[in-house]
Amino acid sequence: MKVVKFGGSSLASGRAVEKVFEIAAADESRKIIVVSAPGKRFPEDEKVTDMLIDCGIYALEKEEVPPKLEKIVERYSRIAAELGLGAEAEEEVRGRLLDTMASGKERPEYFLEKVKACGEDLNARLIAEYFTSRGVEASYVNPGEAGLYVTDEPGNARALPEAYFHLKSLRDRKGIIIFPGFFGYSKLGDVLTFSRSGSDITGSILANGIEAELYENFTDVDAVYSVNPHTVRSPKEIRELTYREMRELSYAGFSVFHDEALIPAYKAGITVNVKNTNNPEAPGTRIVGERDNTNGPVIGIASDKGFCSIYVSKYLMNREIGFGRRILQILEDFGLSYEHTPSGIDDLSIILRQHQFDQAAEEQIAARIKEELEADEVIIEHDLALIMVVGEGMRHNVGTMARASKALAAAKVNIEMINQGSSEVSMMFGVKENDEKRAVKALYEEFFEPARTAVR
Ligand code: ASP
């Protein structure tokens, strides 16, 4: 049995849904189809989930039906019409949306959760109806009914261990199951969503739950690329990579597959195959437990902006027991999570995502570190980009760091920070955001186009 997930861009129009049907029908082991909400049809278009969030916020602020609601109804009714479904589809979508909006505003966070989840839920119902109209046995399954229980963390839910046990019984259902992605239910019966783009997570949980032989993740690109195609033209496609490599790459900006979605599949040893809905014959990229190392030290280079670093120095920091704990406690008091902490004997840098705090919080944090820890120096640096150079092959190759830093030096990129060691499959470089693209290009040329580097 396979679990197959289709992203929003694969479900944005009636024609797109027809392709999804063809893919599902082409292989009878494709048992569970997980669907996202309709995504963008063209670059300026709006995703249904974004429109739902706007509607939810509007409904909380004003006691009236949000004007955008009709736009959402129109998205679905157009898809239904393109699929040749009856006009009732439109009424049903409007009715369900109005019903959802009609209650629960006294708990705003949970209200927004159930409104957000409508995108996937309505789509799954519509797609099940379409599959049936094509003469295939298919049914919509609600995550609550299937036992997809999750933690009570709005917008950031995680599957509870018992969910996997309940989901196993989906194996025995007849026909194809159309399952809405992105949300589950708390034990108290509230709808809770995963983090954004979380339908990938649903697919992975289901694959684990039913012990699938494969988890196919259909999106709109032929493969995971070794570097962002917006930075380097026609980069190399990755055929196979490990869960650890994918985790590192998706953490730093590879958005093809949600980083949190790897764990359930990984735990059950299920291969994830990222494929293209518009080119299903292409082999795509396989994410596996182990792979043959035939590609050299590096498999991919990712980068992400929007970081800052808090640099703290204090003479004899290495001798002071509890220094690290106390500094992290200050961050915890401000509700901040951190990403990396490269350190030396007398220095420590903490890298954080910048959007988490404003200038006022920043000043307070610096002041507390200076006072409470009697630090010699506290410097906060903004607008950093992190570049992750990733590959299992690094463990067995000598000189990868030397090659990377030499390439960056040749491109006149000043390295603000390096972190390597804890993870044996990646090296992290912190650079100024202005240098990010230049740095990534230089690293790509070094590791993927050595011939080009040699002639320069
Ligand atoms: N529709 C949700 C989002 O836009 C989840 C998903 O597409 O996977 O984040």
Tens of pLDDT, residues 350-384: 999 999 989 999 999 999 999 999 999 999 999 99
Residue from 183, 129, 176, 139 nearest 14 by CA: 129
CA distance 59 to 18: 34
pLDDT at 256: 82
Tokens of 213: 């032989």
- Give the H/E segment covering residue 126: helix 108-133
Choice from 47, 49, 52, 72 to test ligand 1 binding pocket (greatest atom count within 8 A of CB): 49
Q: Model confidence at 456, in pLDDT bands (50, 70, 90)? A: very low
pLDDT at 99: 96
Q: Residue holding tokens 């032929």?
A: 222
pLDDT at 259: 84
Q: Model confidence at 66, in pLDDT bands (50, 70, 90)? A: very high
User: pLDDT tens digits for 151-175?
Assistant: 999 999 999 999 999 999 999 999 9
Cβ distance 31 to 62 under 8 Å? no
Write down the mean pLDDT value for the chain. Answer: 93
Cβ distance 211 to 169 under 8 Å? no
Answer yes or no: pTM beyond 0.75: yes
pLDDT at 397: 81
pLDDT at 148: 98
Sheet holding 347-353, edge to edge: 338-340, 347-353, 300-313, 377-390, 426-432, 417-420
CA distance 198 to 212: 19
Nearest 10 degrees: CA dihedral of 338, 344, 347, 353?
-20
* Cα of 350 from ligand 1 centre, angstroms: 31
CA distance 56 to 192: 14
| Across 260-269, average pLDDT | 94
For residue 287, the one-letter residue type is I
Percent of the chain scoring above 70 in pLDDT:
97
Residue from 168, 315, 176, 218 nearest 16 by CA: 218
Res 289 pLDDT > 80? yes
- Give the H/E segment covering residue 339: strand 338-340
* Cα of 255 from ligand 1 centre, angstroms: 12
Name the β-bridge partners of 140.
178
- Ligand 1 atom closest to 8 (CA): 7
- Ligand 1 atom closest to 50 (CA): 4
CA distance 10 to 21: 11
* Cα of 116 from ligand 1 centre, angstroms: 9
For residue 403, the one-letter residue type is R
Residues with CB under 6 A from ligand 1: 8, 36-37, 47, 49, 119, 181-182, 196-199
User: pLDDT tens digits for 318-357?
Assistant: 999 999 999 999 999 999 999 888 888 999 999 999 999 8
pLDDT at 253: 76
Strands 237-238 vs 271-276: parallel, antiparallel or unpaired: unpaired
- Ligand 1 atom closest to 194 (CA): 5
CA distance 349 to 312: 6
Distances 122 to 80, 106, 237, 307 between C-alpha atoms, Å: 11, 24, 34, 37
Lowest-pLDDT choice from 91-95, 183-187, 249-253, 301-305: 249-253
Percent of the chain scoring above 90 in pLDDT:
85
pLDDT at 454: 46
Residue from 123, 220, 240 nearest 178 by CA: 123
Residue from 134, 116, 115, 224 nearest 178 by CA: 134
Res 455 pLDDT > 60? no
pLDDT at 77: 96
Lowest-pLDDT choice from 91-95, 186-190, 252-256, 410-414: 252-256
pLDDT at 452: 56
67: exposed, middle or buried (Cβ count in 10 Å: 0-12, 13-18, 19+): exposed
CA distance 373 to 347: 13
| Across 62-68, average pLDDT | 89
Alpha helices in 157-302, H assignment, sequence order: 161-167, 199-209, 243-251, 262-267
Res 292 pLDDT > 90? no
Res 446 pLDDT > 90? yes
Cβ distance 436 to 387 under 8 Å? yes
Residue from 152, 136, 133, 148 nearest 205 by CA: 148
* Cα of 30 from ligand 1 centre, angstroms: 22
| Across 193-217, average pLDDT | 97
User: pLDDT tens digits for 36-60?
Assistant: 999 999 999 999 999 999 999 999 9
* Cα of 6 from ligand 1 centre, angstroms: 11
Q: Give me the half-sphere count of Cα atoms (radius 13 Å) on the Cβ side of residue 398.
A: 0
* Cα of 119 from ligand 1 centre, angstroms: 8
Sign for the CA dihedral angle at 12, 13, 16, 20 comes to positive
Choice from 195, 199, 256 to test ligand 1 binding pocket (greatest atom count within 8 A of CB): 199
pLDDT at 94: 96
| Across 283-295, average pLDDT | 87
Q: Model confidence at 254, in pLDDT bands (50, 70, 90)? A: confident
Sign for the CA dihedral angle at 108, 104, 185, 118 comes to negative
Q: Residue holding tokens 């509007």?
A: 58
Residue from 265, 262, 121 nearest 179 by CA: 121
Name the β-bridge partners of 338.
352
More confident call, 190 vs 250: 190
* Cα of 368 from ligand 1 centre, angstroms: 39
pLDDT at 70: 96
Tokens of 170: 């989906």
Distances 73 to 102, 169, 219, 326, 382 between C-alpha atoms, Å: 16, 33, 24, 52, 43
- Ligand 1 atom closest to 202 (CA): 8
Nearest CA to ligand 1 atom 6: 197
